[in-house]
């Protein structure tokens, strides 16, 4: 499949590619919460792809770095709020590296595919092959960043930009990876067409402003991309069987629960006890009731089972409500290990139901390679005093309610961002998802809104109602179609109630999502392999001599 040297494929000069990539990365952040200008995701993706399209590896790596910096540095700037620049720069560096590797891979693939004789004679097939490959490589990047290192960080994915956009409900059919791939593919189609005329055509466009030939060239691919996005936008959320409903309440204590907050032991618990008592006052005044009450992560602080007074007060509230209270507490097991856990408290006290967070956060809830990192930043490392172990209990617990037994799926904080957790929740027949979190360490930053956006997409993907409840916000009850059923104002003590459906079954995204993700990645890998095989036999010197005037 090796190609002969031919006309040099079109590409941007480095001085244009790098700033365009940075602008594309910044637009992707603008498309994400808190601004959530979802439409910016499409030009943002297109600019990143244009910057690396058919590029030399060195320029592509530089453009990838620029795109990664443009996106990640502002996107996770919330890490600097209390911990300063070191964790922010460290995590950003890893995420930016994935962007640089994507840039190199996309450049090699698109450049090699442009030279394959089979594709060179079939422009439409070449265009499709390049677009599919780059979309697949985009999914590869997102999947790899979500798995490595230290379990990965599946944050900032292209699909996340659509939590407030018209493509939200399509995630129930495609899953997160599938939706990211579809958006990247739609953005790649017109870019492939724009560069299809070769370097000379691109030079004429840039130098002489010959926009009409370029418009004719990209017209059909652009129309196909728009048609694909319109089709995805028209998809309704995949319906699942409902068997009854449940009235759920969730309590936000507005506690001083951040790592550096000035508080006494028991203050966070007291805030949630008080907010729950006010909720019950309001329910009783309106002759109303609820079937379940949900508190956030860490709402009962450390070792609730060993706190007789606190345990008794919660049990009395559960008795008064006639409903169990699902709450969060840090527990110390007999072997000395710690877990970030969810417990269920009824009128008789603690029940057997328990979930331990499966994905503790590295450098926050445990310190990997502690001795090594202590040499680099001892003050920061010493802040992580407890090493929480990953949970091994099922992510779905049985909760006895007045409306009958409930299969409640639990996701504590960043659990919600991992696809494997969503699959496990549905595989274990969760009827409802309870996403408990403590966002206090991030203050009034974009982190709260970004996490709620991911939770909203997760509700639609799984086809379940989801209760996203935080100690400080942002808290909301989300319907299976992504609509808000109830919400609490951030940084205010209060409660919300909503009637939510009890759902069974799996959406196409959960039934086929892994296969869709694997398919995108396989197409990306095949395209990259073909692109590498399609590199010309000619030496770099002969290729250099074939460069067009625009490259001088």
pLDDT in tens, 270-293: 999 999 999 999 999 999 999 999
Kindly state whether residues 321 and 418 are assigned to the same domain. Answer: yes
Kindly state whether residues 151 and 283 are assigned to the same domain. Answer: no
The Cα 230–Cα 458 span in angstroms is 22
The Cα 132–Cα 139 span in angstroms is 11
Mode of pairing for the β-strands spanning 349-356 and 338-346 = antiparallel
Kindly state whether residues 233 and 307 are assigned to the same domain. Answer: no
Q: Which two tokens stand for residue 220?
A: 């059909």
Q: How far is CA 89 from the centre of its chain?
A: 19
Kindly state whether residues 151 and 277 are assigned to the same domain. Answer: no
Kindly state whether residues 470 and 332 are assigned to the same domain. Answer: yes
Kindly state whether residues 332 and 221 are assigned to the same domain. Answer: no
Nearest alpha carbon to residue 248 among 354, 325, 343: 325
Is residue 368 domain-resident? no
Is residue 274 domain-resident? yes
Kindly state whether residues 424 and 545 are assigned to the same domain. Answer: no
Which residues make Cβ contacts (< 8 Å) with residue 236, sequence separation at least 6? 169, 481
Is residue 390 domain-resident? no
- Domain range for 323: 242-358+395-504
The Cα 63–Cα 47 span in angstroms is 10
- What pLDDT is stored for residue 105 in this prediction? 98
Kindly state whether residues 223 and 341 are assigned to the same domain. Answer: no
Kindly state whether residues 92 and 116 are assigned to the same domain. Answer: yes
Q: Taking a C-beta distance cutoff of 8 angstroms, is the pair 313, 282 a contact?
A: no
Is residue 1 domain-resident? no
Is residue 297 domain-resident? yes
The Cα 530–Cα 110 span in angstroms is 10
Residue appearing with tokens 């070769």: 198
> pLDDT means per 10 residues in the chain (552 residues)?
57 96 98 95 98 97 98 95 88 97 98 88 90 98 96 97 97 98 98 78 54 70 96 96 96 88 88 97 96 97 95 97 97 93 96 96 87 83 86 96 94 96 97 96 92 98 98 95 97 97 97 97 97 66 41 37
Q: Using one digit for the tens of pLDDT, what is the confidence trace for 103-138?
A: 999 999 999 999 888 887 788 899 999 999 999 999
Q: Using one digit for the tens of pLDDT, what is the confidence trace for 80-101?
A: 987 789 889 999 999 999 999 9
Is residue 233 domain-resident? yes
When divided into structural domains, the chain yields a total of 2
Is residue 370 domain-resident? no
- What pLDDT is stored for residue 372 in this prediction? 86
- What pLDDT is stored for residue 542 in this prediction? 40
Kindly state whether residues 500 and 514 are assigned to the same domain. Answer: no
Nearest alpha carbon to residue 31 among 168, 161, 185, 187: 161
Q: Where residue 489 sits, what CATH number does that domain have?
A: 3.60.110.10
Kindly state whether residues 63 and 194 are assigned to the same domain. Answer: yes
Distance separating the N- and C-terminal Cα atoms of the chain? 30
Q: CB-side exposure of 263: number of CA atoms within 13 Å?
A: 17
Is residue 374 domain-resident? no
Kindly state whether residues 95 and 114 are assigned to the same domain. Answer: yes
């Amino acid at each position: 499949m090796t190609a002969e040297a031919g006309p040099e494929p079109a590409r941007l000069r480095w001085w244009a590619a790098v700033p365009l990539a940075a602008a594309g990365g910044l637009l992707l952040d603008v498309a994400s919460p808190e601004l959530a200008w979802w439409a910016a995701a499409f030009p943002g993706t297109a600019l990143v792809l244009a910057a690396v399209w058919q590029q030399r590896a060195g320029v592509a790596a530089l453009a990838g770095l620029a795109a990664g910096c443009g996106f990640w540095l502002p996107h996770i700037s919330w890490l600097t709020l209390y911990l300063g620049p070191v964790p922010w720069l460290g995590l950003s560096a890893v995420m930016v590296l994935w962007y640089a590797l994507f840039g190199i891979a996309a450049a090699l693939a698109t450049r090699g595919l442009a030279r394959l004789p089979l594709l060179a004679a079939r422009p439409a097939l070449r265009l499709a092959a390049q677009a599919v490959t780059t979309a697949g490589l985009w999914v590869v990047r997102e999947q790899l960043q979500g798995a490595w290192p230290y379990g990965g960080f599946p944050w900032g994915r292209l699909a996340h930009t659509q939590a407030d956009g018209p493509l939200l409900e399509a995630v129930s059919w495609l899953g997160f990876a599938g939706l990211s791939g579809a958006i990247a593919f739609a953005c790649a189609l017109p870019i492939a067409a724009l560069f299809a005329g070769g370097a000379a055509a691109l030079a004429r466009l840039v130098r002489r402003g010959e926009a009409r030939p370029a418009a004719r060239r990209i017209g059909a691919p652009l129309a196909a991309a728009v048609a694909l996005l319109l089709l995805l936008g028209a998809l309704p959320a995949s319906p699942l069987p409902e068997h009854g409903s449940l009235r759920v309440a969730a309590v936000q204590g507005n506690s001083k629960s951040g790592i550096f907050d000035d508080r006494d032991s028991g203050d966070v618990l007291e805030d949630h006890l008080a907010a729950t008592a006010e909720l019950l006052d309001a329910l009783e005044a309106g002759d109303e009731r609820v079937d379940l009450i949900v508190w956030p992560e860490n709402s009962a602080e450390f070792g609730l089972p060993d706190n007789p007074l606190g345990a008794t007060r919660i049990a009395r509230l559960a008795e008064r409500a006639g409903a169990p209270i699902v709450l969060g507490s840090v527990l110390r097991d007999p072997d000395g290990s710690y877990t970030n856990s969810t417990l269920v408290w009824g009128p008789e006290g603690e029940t057997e139901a328990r979930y331990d967070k499966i994905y503790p956060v590295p450098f926050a809830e445990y310190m990997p390679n502690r001795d090594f990192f202590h040499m680099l930043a001892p003050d920061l490392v010493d802040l992580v005093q407890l090493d929480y172990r990953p949970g091994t209990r099922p992510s779905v617990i049985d909760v006895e309610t007045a409306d009958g037994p409930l299969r409640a799926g639990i996701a504590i904080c960043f659990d919600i961002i991992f696809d494997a957790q969503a699959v496990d929740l549905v595989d274990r027949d969760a009827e409802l998802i309870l996403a408990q979190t403590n966002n206090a360490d991030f203050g009034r930053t974009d982190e709260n809104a970004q996490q709620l956006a991911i939770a909203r997409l997760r509700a639609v993907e799984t086809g379940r109602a989801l209760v996203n409840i935080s100690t400080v916000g942002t808290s909301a009850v989300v319907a299976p179609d992504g609509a808000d059923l109830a919400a609490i104002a951030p940084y205010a003590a209060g409660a919300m109630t909503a009637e939510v459906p009890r759902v069974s079954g799996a959406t196409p995204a959960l039934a086929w999502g892994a296969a869709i993700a694997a398919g995108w990645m396989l197409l990306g890998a095949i395209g990259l392999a073909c692109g590498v095989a399609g590199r010309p036999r000619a030496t770099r010197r002969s290729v250099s001599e074939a460069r067009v005037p625009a490259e001088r």
